[in-house]
Structure 1
Amino acid sequence: MNTGNGFSYTLTRTLDAPADRVWRAWTTPDEYAHWAYAAPGSVEMDVRPGGAWKATVVTPDGDRFPLTGSYLEVAEDRLLVVGMDVPGKSEPAAMRVELDPDGPRTRIVVRQTCDTAEERDAAEEGSGMLLDGLAAFLAGRAAG
């Protein structure tokens, strides 16, 4: 696991959904595609340590970016460490997603360490967008 050289970020949110619901949203391909800006049908997940994942992210202006990686650590309803393949690097970039149940709500913490400040800033922005999308998805599901 590449820990970078100290350019880290941590994002924390409290979601209005129980941890098992947040887990399903993050680990079920169809649900993930709805909130993570992925092209429909592009998400594949083998959610186990060493299992592969892939998704094609679609930006607001329509650009498509295929992403691949593997799961480095998995503890159902509690922890996902997602390795993301980075062109030109031998080690994956690792994003740690921690779920802390609090009754009907869940505290989610996303952490990542990158090689440069620029990579950290881009990764932090992307993770913030993911958490915004996840929160909106869960709110919509709860209301529906």
Structure 2
Amino acid sequence: MADYFTITRDLAAPRELVFEALTKPEHFGVWFGTAAVEVPQDSLTMDVRPGGAFRAVMLLPDGNRIDWAGEYVEVDPPAHLAMTLTDNPDEYAGLPVLFDLEDVDGATRLTISQDRAGFSDEQVAATIAGYNAFIDDIDRVVAGMPRG
């Protein structure tokens, strides 16, 4: 049985915009890299449909790179996205990371859930910190997106 940890934050944007930030390369590359890491647009493959491929490269400030890969498992705009995600593309990616978006008082509640899959408590804490940095940048991305 999966043992998920979750991160939940409210963003001051309609969930359609938040879902777009999660699924459009021009927005995804901004928040996935955060302010400190470059994700070149030409490294992104985002076939956002069940069974579609995901690939991205992170270029780290120290000169290293991380190759990410995954597959979209569930796509239910603008409420839910489930995708596998691994920085070791040659191995099993594990259970999907879940992105759930809920309308809450004129905002969007974004909940990200990931199976801890053998992570130590320190690795879970570092992953949560990373997701919080992602969400900070998603918030900045959607703040700059045009509203209906």
TM over 0.5: yes
Kept after mapping to 1: 8 A contact 2:54/2:70: yes
Alignment of 1:64-103 (within 5 A): 64-85=65-86, 87=88, 89-102=91-104
Which residue does 1:12 correspond to in 2? 8
The unaligned stretches of length 5 or more in structure 2 are 34-38
Q: Percent identity?
A: 29
2:133 is matched with which residue: 129, 133, 138?
129
**Secondary structure of 1:50's match?**
coil
TM-score (norm 1): 0.82
Aligned length: 139
**Secondary structure of 1:36's match?**
helix
Which residue does 1:51 correspond to in 2? 52
Structure with the largest fraction of strand: 1
1:113 is matched with which residue: 106, 112, 115?
115
Cα distance between partner residues in 2 of 1:43 and 1:113 = 24
TM-score (norm 2): 0.80
Kept after mapping to 1: 8 A contact 2:84/2:95: yes
Cα distance between partner residues in 2 of 1:60 and 1:101 = 36
Which residue does 2:36 correspond to in 1? none
The unaligned stretches of length 5 or more in structure 1 are none
